Amino acid sequence: MKRFGTLALCAAFSWMFMGTWLPAQAQDTPKATAKATDKTKKTPGFIQKLADEADTLGSAKKVVNEARLEGDRAYKAENYFFAIEHYKNALRFDKKDKEVPFLIAECYRMANEIKNADPWYAKALKMGYANEAIHIQYGTILRALERYPEAIDQYEAYLRLRPEEPYIKWLIESCRLAQTWLEKPARYTVENIKRFNTKNSEFGIAPMKTNAILLSSTRPDAMGTKLYGRLGEDFSDLFESYVDGQGKWTKLRPVPGLINTTGNEGTPSLTTDGNTMYFTRCNAKKGVCRIFKTTREITGWSEPEPISIFADTIDVGHPSISVNEDKLYFVANNAEGGYGGRDIWFMNRTQDDTWEEPVNLGATINTERDEMFPFIHASDTVLFFASDGHPGMGGLDIFRSSGGGSDWEQAQNMRNPINSGADDFGFTANPKLRNGFLVSSRLEGRGSDDIYLWNFIPYRLSLKGQVIDDTTRKPLPGAVVRLLLEDSTYYETETDSQGAYSFKIREDVRYVLEATVPRSKIPAGLHAGPVQRLLYYPTDTSFDTYQTRDDIDWVMDLPMKLVPTEEFILTDILYDYDSSRLRPVSMVALDSLVRFLNKSPNISIAINSHTDSRGSDGYNRKLSQRRAQSVVDYLRSQGIDSTRLKAIGYGESRLLNRCKDKVRCTEQEHQVNRRTTFSITSIDLDRVIVKYRRVTGEETESTEETLYTAISEKPRPVRPAARP
């Protein structure tokens, strides 16, 4: 429904902002007098006075005329709270007046009491009230109540009278779209924060620091001594609450300092450090809305200073400061260069701490109707706002767009349950976009406008697969599978008898999946040769879930390659005669081995040096040991951990041909036996997991601000977890 007041504020601000402020004598009624009046049980004093006059004059007709006239005067002055009582009194004396039920319904609609407006529109139609506007207005109320088929009936009734009305056709399509959103809600939960809400309007909530909040409210302990005649509530003030030593939220109290006045204050926006606040203030007498800036001091907030944006004739409000404090987003009413109604604008801050000229956010955000309550996310690239000009569920809906400056993508409706048929606005989100606040006048609330906590429902994602032999394609039971996360944690599991593994995962995360097979777990008979000599290379793969927008079961099989049992010959490893000193060309050749070891940090190797048969066995073994050690020393000089390296000199014990002692062979045949090799001795997955911390139990997503968890009256749903 079209929101006309602060919500109720827009109360402290939308009402301030969505309607026209009245002279003080027309709209302000002393609190004591107004609050002593029970509009549902007692006859107001001014009505009783009219009745007394009627008794004196003996004329009921005069009472009817006077009550109707008083109602018309209050209605024209937008004092709907008082007009309703005049009209109800007038209807008691003239039950055939078809227009009065319509006017009562209009007052309730303008005061945002949609549930009370419904029966009065129905009564006016039943009495035969013929003004075609009733079909639009009643349709608006039915849409706000989410009775979309009935709303469509009213809009179609209007089209029968005026067929060429594109806006009404747009409303019908919005109703049909809203019905589909109700049938398939978005992935959110929305919960009323009862501890902060009253029968009055609460809105404009903002985290002040960890476990502390600011909010706007029209609750009776606001500073002013007047009532806002449009709504029958107090003018709005800013309040604060903290979590005390017992973990409970303190009673809301007016913010200390020089913030609150007898007018409306609302929609606060704080800098990241919490020491500077921007907010809206509307002067109760002059009816002017402005954005003010204040800073935190020891005794409270300092004297607010207005920010000059447009001419004094243009109302501005609803500030949202960017995380870097270099942009201020706000709302302006019918400013030149806008698209009509209320538009969202922004200003850049210069290096000398002044603000540049306002820039309109453009047609993808603003429409010819109203866009309000901007919230720029900490990323500085996501904007949330409320609008009744984009297709929605009714009243103000919350929308999201990505971009920056004046370049934004087409706004997307956040759908039900973030939005409802009533007014939904004042959306905020934590840095991870997983939870935050919103304000709504939906029917299940405690008052006119209530503050709600929203949480994103995580996608149901799982990862499963098999660890298999790369050659035989047979499963490898007992393989160790690890899921590594970007935050230096990991989950671990072992494959079952079928080589299967599984994990629970979540969206917007980059993962690395690793597997290794301990020697003791290699099945007998899988390959030729003794099991104790078999070894598998570890395998790993990386993937991410950043583009996940649905429940998905990922399947990833991990094939394992068998490590060859033979030695790998290192070519061009040359020494001077009877020396263990490496030649320069040998060092170049060893660099390829350095690269291999750097890429495989979990592999340990043995450097094996062999000689030919010439010379004694003892001498050859010592020489080969020194030569193998020279290779190890070079690898260590290149940064390879010495615990991964072992030097073994075999001398002439592993000849490759017939050239044993006393066998005459050519030099070429002896050269075959003079060689340096390496062999893989072990694969230790723990070697590369040093910087990671193993997580046990369920995987949960931590929130940077404990505020949202502390506010919720119910425990947040935990994410599905990978079991170790």
Q: What is the pLDDT of residues 243-299, one digit of tens each?
A: 888 888 889 999 998 899 888 899 999 999 999 999 999 986 777 899 999 999 988
Phi and psi at residue 83, in whole multiples of 5°? -60, -35
Here the tokens at position 488 are 């230096």
Cα–Cα distances in angstroms (integers) from residue 341 to residues 106, 267, 331, 370, 677, in the given order: 21, 19, 10, 5, 81
Question: Judging by beta carbons within 10 Å of its beta carbon (0-12, 13-18, 19+), is residue 716 exposed, middle or buried?
Answer: middle
Q: What is the pLDDT of residue 284?
A: 67
Round to whole Å and give the CA distance between 649 and 652: 9
Round to whole Å and give the CA distance between 700 and 354: 43
Size of the chain, expressed as the number of residues it contains: 724
Q: Is 700 left (phi over 0), alpha (psi -120 to 50) or beta?
A: beta
DSSP state of 660: -
Here the tokens at position 73 are 């005067």
Q: Residue ranges per domain, the chain?
A: 6-184, 461-564, 568-684
Q: What is the pLDDT of residue 432?
A: 86
Which pTM does this prediction carry?
0.72
CATH number of 568-684: 3.30.1330.60
Q: What is the pLDDT of residue 4?
A: 30
pLDDT tens track for 130-141: 889 999 999 999
Q: What is the pLDDT of residue 281?
A: 94
Q: What is the pLDDT of residue 19?
A: 36
6-184 and 461-564 share one fold: no
Residues of the chain with pLDDT under 70: 1-65, 224-233, 284, 528-533, 576-577, 688, 697-706, 709, 712-724
Q: Which homologous superfamily is 6-184 in?
A: Tetratricopeptide repeat domain (1.25.40.10)
Options 2.60.120.10, 2.60.40.1120, 3.40.50.720, 2.60.40.10; which CATH number does 461-564 get?
A: 2.60.40.1120
